[in-house]
Structure 1
Amino acid sequence: MPGLSVMDLYLLRRTARSVAGALAVISAVIILIQFEELSRSVGVRTDAGPSEVLWLTLLRAPSLILLLSPFVFLFGGIAAFVALNRSSELTAMRAAGVSAWRFIAPSAAFAFVAGLAVVMLLNPLAAGLSARFEVERARLMQSYLSDAPKEVWLRQGDDRGLVVIHAKSRDLEGDAIRLRAVSLFVYQKDADGRLQFRRRIEAAQAVLRAGFWNLKDVREASAGQTAVRSDTLSIRSTLTAEGAVDRFSSPEAVTFWGLPAAIRQTEMAGFSARSFRLRLHQLFATPILFAAMAILAAASSLRLSRQGGLALAAGAGAATGFLVFFFNQMTGALAAADIIPPLVGAWAPPLVALLSGLALLCYTEDG
């Protein structure tokens, strides 16, 4: 590869091999734990067999693996550099005058590029599987939760007006949205941009089609007028089936490429898009977080093995990575609760981790 020395390629291979091993171990643990959890929460309450529970596990596992993917680069980086240290390869590199900044750069660059690939390629796949998981789990749990309330509130809007939709129950049939016992409250904007109530529509059923709601057994009443009944009625909709499913799903079930549209549609409908904004910023910050974990892993593994304390230093680096992860979860929860801005909640942990790794590296390398 142009621009990369033999040493850089060697370090990349060692790092990639250790990262792949860490990924395999973490993935196996996640699948085993998730299979046991779903067997207990779904399998014992429904007629789902082991094969269906395994299918749910495989649908859910990718999103959990991506959630814990910073640890892949943390543990993989620690394993790679500890092995290089114990084999005296790092000692030989330093004796040849190679700075620690030089042999840590390939690992950090690899983590950054991997973060970009995760956000742009793997996240859409994991989000799609997560959305499918929610649908499949809801289908299996439908009989168990048959008496649970399923009321739905939706909003759709544009620059001309707003429609508030209430339904007694909903069904997700693949990508189709079917609402039952539906009430639609239609508002239009006047010349001053204020919303004015225009009419109320009651329907036994509403199915979301491409660009419109198809209503059946309709009773429509405008302000100051008598009610009018009809068998069917079509109402223009700014929601897509995917967008409507997003209202029932967590932000993690929305793809990176679909988040801007979800934010726009949610705000247009009058809802807060804070959770979607937080998720988008977290995905933007993912490459920085991965690179920070790689730098932190390498910086904590540079202590020469003959000096002793290498295991303690590596353990301290792993503990710092856990603190960064919990800090990331805490700031995310604070941002979702509207205590801190989403920008701060998403970017503070990666930047803190990056600065911590660079500070530790400066202390280790330059004293």
Structure 2
Amino acid sequence: MSLGIGMVERYVLQRTMASLGAALAVLGSMVMLIAFVDIARNVGTRADINFFQLLYLTILQAPATILVLTPFIFLFGTLGAFVGLNRRSELIAMRAAGVSAWRFILPAAMAAFVMGVLTITLLNPLSTAMTAQYETTRDALMENYLKAAPKGTWLRQGDDKTQIVIRARARDQVDGSVRLRGVSLFVYTLNSKGVMDFSRRIEANEARLEPGFWRLIGVREATPGAGAIRSESLSIPSNLDDRTASERFNSPQAVALWRLPTTIARTEDAGFSATPFKLRYHQILATPLLFAAMSVLAAAFSLRLMRLGGLAALAGSGVALGFGFFFFNELCSALAKAEVLHPAVAAWTPPLVALLAGFTLLCYTEDG
């Protein structure tokens, strides 16, 4: 058996990687098709765009969706690999030769963990950049529709002495700079009692974010008990930059892992809840463990059902397991967004539960 050490692991790992590739191809094709139809319905009916623009938006949006569904790739891909080994009686031969199940399952789990690390270090930044570009391109194509939509933009900035709440009827980017139109600024200052009091309100036709300040155009400024003062332009200090301000507009999925800690800190400093960004941050960090857990759980399920027989039951149980995990993960995310659970607890609980369940089933199956 000394010659077989390493050969079994490599063979099972090769079969697993091939099955994961097939699962990725199938799931990716389905996501692309569904995303294209969804964008054509939601964007194509509200903007004058052609087929190639729809395809471009689909390519930008699809990677983020595929990454969300990647646990299913590892679950169904590993299931498919071990189903194939079952059909060819290769697992039975390995077990008859005295090869422990831990020996050919753990390498697949470790490979899934490594792929998870590569996902959060390489694919996640690429996906978030494409998502941000998708949102920017979509808004640009739907500019006329969004102008007519009654939707405002809210920002907040400040420090321990001054807080400014900013509301705008519309926003866009000009030469990479954030521009707001129909702007209202509500300025609060800290009084002698340590309480924020309303000090003045500023209305402006346009506000453009420059390095270190907002440049306001067409300004009307009013303070309590005094009349309005008009001016052509006015500069307001700001601790925001173009990238940080744009991240406030984007969803957490459009912020890269390396930018999330800074975004969380600045969001909390501005007085907003950073729970969605914290949840996203911990979910990304838990990705390698999640991938490994899905591989272990799928392999454990296949071993258990191999002894009982019935590959149809195996496939049905795998599908049920996948949807059950998905709903459990979504439940934890919803509880975190409602601030019922801490974001770290909500992000790390599903993969830990899946991993412990897989190890428990493996111990029961392998060690009795």
TM-score, structure 2 length as denominator?
A: 0.92
Aligned: 1:66 with 2:67: yes
Taking the aligned partners of 2:101 and 2:175, their CA distance within structure 1 comes to: 53
Identify the range of structure 1 (148-157 vs 302-311) with the bigger mean alpha-carbon deviation.
Answer: 302-311
Q: 2:121 is aligned with what amino acid?
A: M
Structure 1 residue 144 corresponds to structure 2 residue 157: no
Partner of 2:291: 290
**Contact 1:175 1:242 (C-alpha < 8 Å) held by counterparts:** no
Instruction: Determine the C-alpha separation between the residues in 2 that align with 1:207 and 1:21.
Output: 49
- Aligned residue for 1:302? 303
Consecutive unaligned residues of structure 1, counting only runs of 5 or more, are none
Whole-Å separation in 1 of the counterparts to 2:305 and 2:46 = 55
Does the aligned pair in 1 maintain the 2:156–2:166 contact within 8 Å? yes
For 1:219, what is the secondary structure of its paired residue?
strand
Counterpart of 2:87, as a letter, is R
- Secondary structure at 2:143 match in 1: coil
Comparing 92-101 with 109-118, which one deviates more in the overlay?
A: 92-101
**Which residue number corresponds to residue 313 of structure 2?**
312
| Alignment-derived partner of residue 364 in structure 1 | 365
Q: Deviations over 1:43-65 (max 9, x none)?
A: 23321111111111001000000
Cα deviation code 1:149-199 (max 9, x no counterpart):
132221012233211112232224474321112222223335664324343
Task: Provide the secondary structure at the position in 2 that maps to 1:153.
Answer: strand
Amino acid across the alignment from 2:131: S
On the 8 A contact 1:111/1:291 being kept in 2, the answer is yes
The CA distance in 1 between the partners of 2:169 and 2:58, in whole Å, is 30
Deviation at 1:225, TM superposition (A): 5.8
Indicate the residue corresponding to 2:82 in structure 1: 81
Report sequence identity in percent.
55
Which residue of structure 2 lines up, in the alignment, with residue 348 of structure 1? 349
**SS in structure 2 of the partner of residue 34 of structure 1:** helix
Question: Following TM superposition, by how much is the alpha carbon of 1:118 offset from its aligned partner in structure 2, in angstroms?
Answer: 1.2
Distance (Å, rounded) in 1 between the aligned partners of 2:304 and 2:311? 6
Distance 1:5 1:191 in 2: 73
Aligned residue for 1:155? 156
The one-letter code matched in structure 2 to 1:48 is: I
Q: Which residue pairs with 2:99 in the alignment? A: 98
AA in 1 matched with 2:183: V
Instruction: Specify the code of the residue in structure 2 equivalent to 1:154.
Output: L
* Residues 76, 318 of structure 2: 8 Å contact kept: no
User: In the superposition, relative to structure 1, how do residues 353 and 60 fare at CA in structure 2: closer, same or farther (>3 Å)?
Assistant: same
Q: d(CA) in 1 for partners of 2:258 and 2:110?
A: 24
Query: Which stretch shifts more, 314-323 or 325-334?
Result: 314-323
Contact 2:159–2:269, Cα closer than 8 Å, also in 1? yes
1:170-249 pair list within 5 angstroms: 170-173=171-174, 175-190=176-191, 193-222=194-223, 227-249=228-250
Residue in 2 aligned with 1:322? Answer: 323
1:263 aligns with 2:264: yes
Once the two structures are superposed, what CA deviation does each residue of 1:286-312 show, in whole Å capped at 9, x if it has no partner?
111111110111111125758632331
Give the number of equivalent residue pairs. Answer: 364
- In structure 1, distance between residues paired with 2:186 and 2:160: 16
Deviation at 1:229, TM superposition (A): 3.7
Task: Confirm or deny: 8 A CA contact 2:203 2:219 kept in the other structure.
Answer: yes
- Call closer, same or farther: CA 1:174–1:35 in 2, change over 3 Å: farther
SS of alignment partner, residue 301 of structure 1: helix
Q: Any stretches of 5+ residues in structure 2 without a counterpart? A: none
2:193 and 2:126 map into 1 onto residues whose CA distance is: 44
2:323 corresponds to 1:332? no
Matches within 5 A, 1:7-22: 7-22=8-23
- Comparing 257-266 with 225-234, which one deviates more in the overlay? 225-234
Relative to 1, partners in 2 of residues 1:306 and 1:203: Cα closer, same or farther, differing over 3 Å? closer
Segments of 4+ moved more than 6 angstroms: none
Q: Distance in 2 between matches of 1:175 and 1:279?
A: 26
Query: For 2:343 and 2:288, how far apart are their aligned partners in 1?
Result: 18
User: Does the 8 Å contact 1:127/1:252 carry over to 2?
Assistant: yes
1:48 to 2:38 alignment:
no
CA contact 1:220–1:229 (8 Å) conserved in 2: yes
- Paired with 1:275 and 1:261, the residues of 2 have a C-alpha distance of 14
Partner of 2:112: 111
Segment of structure 1 superposing worse, 115-124 or 303-312: 303-312
- Report how far residue 23 of structure 1 moved: 0.8
Tell me how far apart the structure 2 counterparts of residues 217 and 144 of structure 1 sit (CA, whole Å): 25
Give the conservation status (yes or no) of the 8 Å contact 2:19–2:81. Answer: yes
- 1:177 partner amino acid: V
Distance between the aligned counterparts of 1:43 and 1:180, measured in 2? 26
Q: Distance in 1 between matches of 2:71 and 2:31?
A: 14
Maintained 8 Å contact 1:112/1:291: yes
Deviations 1:214-267 (A, max 9, x none): 111223345666654433222221222222222222211111111111111111
Q: Secondary structure at the match of 1:238?
A: coil
- Separation in 1 of the partners of 2:192 and 2:100? 68
For 2:316, the aligned partner's letter is G
